[in-house]
């Protein structure tokens, strides 16, 4: 199992220079992944927000090993060709360390409707599927055309350079379990990063999710099962005991939330400096705080 972090680039974390330093600290502490939320606004609260892709580029320049990406990018909110250019640039800048987490995006009333875009879930799902097909096609670096309900590329266009990673930059697909369509969508790509509609996913939930993936997925290419959670407050031994059943169920990545609510504050209100200090301290503890011993993978 690999261990990563998920941070909202909000409030005090909206400083891209700070995010780059935190990415370096995370790498030094032994984390395997550094992931940022990708939002336009924070529920219209006036909270400062950094652009995830610009911040990840800064993080790429400050690190050498750690994987970098978004959890998640609402593909329907971007032109897929612009996202293709951003992701390829990050992958090459980082030497092949980019991961693209994707989903519908929430809350739709702020992320979409507030800017005059269609918040309808079905439309966003259609745009997501078309956008992923376009990303995959453009990343190949060969003449590519596309005609869908929402996007059209004609005549064929060629995007160069290609990503460092082959066959493509890994795509992880998010969704709310027990909704099955997002899991089936994820099975067509490189990983699944679901969340529970209520509470947290259990190891039994993961067994059901991965059973559905196996039913849907063709071939035996590597596939990541990405669990997002927070174990702040648990001692490392207890954290390791909590994580072990997830690993047995097939989870390949444990992503620890570094968010104010994990430390007793409110996510969408100003973050107390004392809470930010706890968040940074948790990041700097590394995955040893979750019971990972040196040399574990």
Rounded Cα distance, 165 and 73, in Å: 19
Rounded Cα distance, 155 and 139, in Å: 17
Is pLDDT of 43 > 90?
no
What is the structure's pLDDT at 65?
Answer: 98
Is pLDDT of 295 > 60?
no
Is pLDDT of 293 > 90?
no
The predicted-structure confidence for 203-242, as pLDDT tens digits, reads as follows 999 999 999 999 999 888 999 999 999 999 999 999 999 9
What is the structure's pLDDT at 297?
Answer: 57
Mean pLDDT across 95-115: 95
User: How does residue 296 score in pLDDT terms, banded at 50, 70 and 90?
Assistant: low
Name the residue among 156, 151, 157 with its Cα closest to residue 133.
151
* Cis amide bond preceding 265, omega within 30: no
Of the chain, the percentage scoring pLDDT greater than 70 comes to 98
3-state secondary structure string across the chain: CEEEEEECCEHHHHCHHHHHHHHHHHHHHCCCEEEECCCCCCCCCCCCECCHHHHHHHHHHHCCCCEEEEEEEEHHHCCHHHHHHHHHHHHHHCCCCEEEEEECCCCHHHHCHHHCCCCCHHHHHHHHHHHHHHHHHHHCCCCEEEECCCCEEEEEECCCCCCCCCCCCCEEEEEEECCCHHHHHHHCCCEEEEEECCCCCCHHHHHHHHHHHHHHCCCCCCCEEEEEECCCCCCHHHHHHHHHHHHHHCCCEEEEECCHHHHCCCCCCCCCHHHHHHHHHHHHHCHHHHCCCCCCC
Q: Domains in the chain and their CATH numbers?
A: 2-290 (3.20.20.30)
Q: Which pair of structure tokens corresponds to residue 227?
A: 């669990």
Mean pLDDT across 136-140: 98
- Residue 143 phi, psi (nearest 5): -55, 130
Is pLDDT of 137 > 70?
yes
* Cis amide bond preceding 14, omega within 30: no
What is the structure's pLDDT at 42?
Answer: 86
What is the structure's pLDDT at 268?
Answer: 87
Name the residue among 1, 2, 6 with its Cα closest to residue 256.
6
What is the structure's pLDDT at 210?
Answer: 98
What is the structure's pLDDT at 76?
Answer: 97
Rounded Cα distance, 49 and 205, in Å: 33
The predicted-structure confidence for 154-203, as pLDDT tens digits, reads as follows 999 999 999 999 999 999 999 999 999 999 999 999 999 999 988 899 99
The predicted-structure confidence for 50-85, as pLDDT tens digits, reads as follows 999 999 999 999 999 999 999 999 999 999 999 999
The predicted-structure confidence for 10-19, as pLDDT tens digits, reads as follows 999 999 999 9
């Amino acid at each position: 199992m690999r261990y990563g972090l998920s941070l909202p680039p909000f409030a005090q974390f909206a400083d891209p220079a700070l995010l780059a330093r935190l990415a370096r600290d995370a790498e030094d502490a032994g984390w395997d992944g550094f992931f940022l939320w990708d939002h336009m606004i924070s529920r219209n609260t006036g909270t400062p927000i950094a652009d995830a892709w610009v911040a990840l580029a800064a993080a790429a320049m400050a690190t050498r090993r750690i994987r970098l990406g978004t959890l998640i990018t609402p593909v329907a909110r971007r032109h897929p060709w612009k996202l293709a250019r951003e992701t390829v640039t990050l992958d090459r800048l980082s030497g092949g360390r980019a991961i693209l987490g994707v989903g519908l995006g929430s809350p739709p009333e702020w992320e979409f409707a507030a800017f005059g875009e269609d918040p309808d879930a079905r439309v966003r799902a259609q745009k997501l599927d078309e956008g992923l097909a376009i990303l995959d096609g453009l990343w190949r670096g060969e003449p590519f055309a596309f005609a869908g309900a929402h996007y059209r590329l004609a005549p064929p266009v060629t995007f160069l350079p290609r990503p460092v990673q082959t066959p493509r930059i890994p795509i992880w697909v998010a969704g709310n379990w027990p909704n099955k369509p997002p899991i089936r969508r994820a099975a067509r790509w490189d990983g699944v990063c679901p969340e529970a509609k209520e509470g947290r996913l259990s190891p039994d939930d993961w067994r059901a999710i991965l059973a559905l993936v196996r039913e849907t997925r063709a071939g035996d290419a590597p596939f990541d099962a990405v669990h997002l959670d927070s174990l702040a407050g648990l001692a490392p031994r207890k954290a390791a005991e909590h994580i072990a059943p997830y690993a047995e169920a097939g989870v390949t990545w444990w992503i620890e939330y570094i968010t104010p609510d994990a430390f007793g504050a409110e996510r969408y209100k100003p973050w107390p400096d004392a809470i930010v200090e706890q968040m940074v301290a948790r990041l700097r503890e590394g995955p040893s705080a979750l019971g990972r011993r040196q040399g574990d993978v």
